[in-house]
């Protein structure tokens, strides 16, 4: 037994470890790394509810990215003899990647505006590929997935915002009830 258990550490993370008999620096354990949320957490702290709007919008963006993956394969397969086939494949895959990365910035200023821009880039991309190719893509049918996903995006943003408002009102009401119960307990003591 080269390590002995000492007293509790000052931060309450557990018992302190004393160095071994030779006092080697490797014999002490470093505390595990914590995220900012873990460092800022205090006992009794209540977390605000997560955004439904962000959840819905992220879901739509991920589904669009999957659609862009399959669209890129179809566009490349139908036009693989054309000089622009690799550009179609690369551009569609790049747009799919950007759609996924946009999920990370939705909460930042301009995140939803960027999402709207991507909706129209995708819609006009579908129409542009249909106009560019001559292999079986009819322009009105090419616009259908783009229009459908623009409608899904609009619904996700608008309904998500409405649900966020309702959720925040419920959270504030529950918080007020909890504070009232706590203050009544303190008054009776």
Phi, psi for residue 28 in degrees, rounded to 5: -90, 140
172 lies in some domain = yes
Domain count across the chain: 1
Nearest to 67 by CA among 114, 106, 99: 99
Classify residue 92 as exposed, middle or buried by CB count within 10 Å of its CB (0-12, 13-18, 19+): buried
Q: What is the DSSP letter of 6?
A: E
Q: Is residue 73 part of a domain?
A: yes
Specify the residue for token string 């529950």.
174
Q: Is residue 166 part of a domain?
A: yes
**What residues make up the domain containing 173?**
52-177
57 part of a folded domain: yes
The pTM of this model reads 0.68
Q: Tell me the average pLDDT of the chain.
A: 80
- 6-45 confidence digits (pLDDT tens): 455 555 555 555 555 555 555 577 778 888 877 877 777 6
Q: Between 58 and 175, where is the model more confident?
A: 58
Is 7 inside a domain boundary? no
Q: Is residue 186 part of a domain?
A: no
The answer as to whether 96 is a domain residue is yes
In a domain, 60, yes or no: yes
The full length of the chain comes to 189
């Amino acid at each position: 037994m080269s390590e002995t258990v000492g007293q509790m550490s000052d931060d309450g993370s557990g018992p302190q470890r004393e160095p071994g008999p030779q006092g080697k620096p490797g014999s002490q354990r470093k505390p595990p790394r914590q995220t900012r949320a873990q460092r800022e957490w205090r006992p009794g702290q209540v977390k605000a509810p997560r955004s439904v709007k962000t959840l819905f919008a992220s879901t739509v963006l991920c589904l669009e990215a999957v659609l862009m993956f399959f669209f890129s394969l179809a566009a490349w397969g139908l036009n693989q003899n054309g000089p622009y086939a690799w550009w179609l494949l690369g551009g569609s895959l790049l747009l799919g990647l950007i759609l996924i990365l946009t999920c990370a910035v939705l909460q930042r200023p301009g995140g939803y505006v960027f999402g709207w821009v991507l909706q129209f880039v995708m819609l006009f991309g579908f129409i542009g590929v249909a106009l560019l190719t001559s292999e079986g893509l009819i322009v009105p049918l090419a616009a259908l997935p783009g229009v459908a996903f623009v409608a899904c995006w609009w619904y996700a943003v608008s309904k998500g915002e409405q649900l966020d408002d309702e959720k925040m009102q419920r959270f504030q009401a529950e918080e007020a009830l909890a504070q009232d119960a706590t203050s009544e307990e303190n008054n009776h003591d």
